[in-house]
Structure 1
Amino acid sequence: MSDLQEQLSPHQEVARAELAKAFRGVLSTEAGKRVLYWILEECAIYRDAFCGENNATNYTLGQQASGRKILAKLDEIDPRLYPALLMDIAQIREVDRSAAEALADKQENDDDLEG
């Protein structure tokens, strides 16, 4: 990594630092984590690319290449960012699941009161 930094111009170093700061800013909020994870899902990172039809497979492989670029950037900034994102998303989904169950229970109880 120090070899890369030695090859960067001052402008490139500033741009790189600002991009890292922006990624950290996105990952500092629940909303940012949700959006970044959604982007990775849309990049087919979590799907099998091979579907038996060459054009569709190639399309998915292209999507995955974009997703891998995002993962590589996260790893370049800090190798702990992506694993932390996965852990945070698991927690966010658990909170969402609990909220959905509570809402369903409330609606069920409201229906019982009306009937």
Structure 2
Amino acid sequence: MTDLSEQLSPEQEITRAEIAKAFRDTLATVAGKRVLYWILEECAIYRDAYCGENNATNYTLGQQASGRKIIAKLDEVDPRLYPSLLTDMAAIREMDRAASKATADNMENDDADD
């Protein structure tokens, strides 16, 4: 079996390289990680598809198929991207929680001073 890159036209190779670069660029920023993770959440990747009703289950399975395509593309670009996204999002969420707590604490202190 030949390698996929051997079967690509020059135009397809450029497109593939540009998509890979776009994924890397997107995941290089916190904003990009937030957006991509949100997209995966909207694709129901982190939810159970089965709900007891066939139409809803099939709909969720379709959403998950789209999410799996995104994850497969991440793996194609670099197998470390998706696991890194998950660990980075855990850290980002922890920072968000700390910032939210600090804001709430400041608001309480301001109310106590009044």
Q: TM-score range by the shorter chain?
A: over 0.9
Q: 1:6-37: CA deviations, max 9, x gaps? A: 01011000000000000001000000000000
User: Which residue in 1 is equivalent to 2:47?
Assistant: 47
After superposition, where does 1:45-84 map in structure 2 within 5 Å? 45-84=45-84
Q: 1:37-59: CA deviations, max 9, x gaps? A: 00000000000000000000000
- Distance, in Å, in 2 between the alignment partners of 1:64 and 1:33 is 19
RMSD: 1.1
Gaps (5+ residues) in structure 1?
A: none
User: Which residue in 2 is equivalent to 1:107?
Assistant: 107
- Distance, in Å, in 1 between the alignment partners of 2:94 and 2:65 is 29
Large movers: runs of 4+ above 4 Å = none
Q: Percent same amino acid at aligned positions?
A: 76
User: Which residue in 2 is equivalent to 1:29?
Assistant: 29
User: Which residue in 2 is equivalent to 1:85?
Assistant: 85
Opposite residue 102 of structure 2, the aligned amino acid is A
Deviation at 1:74, TM superposition (A): 0.2
Gaps (5+ residues) in structure 2?
A: none
Opposite residue 31 of structure 1, the aligned amino acid is A
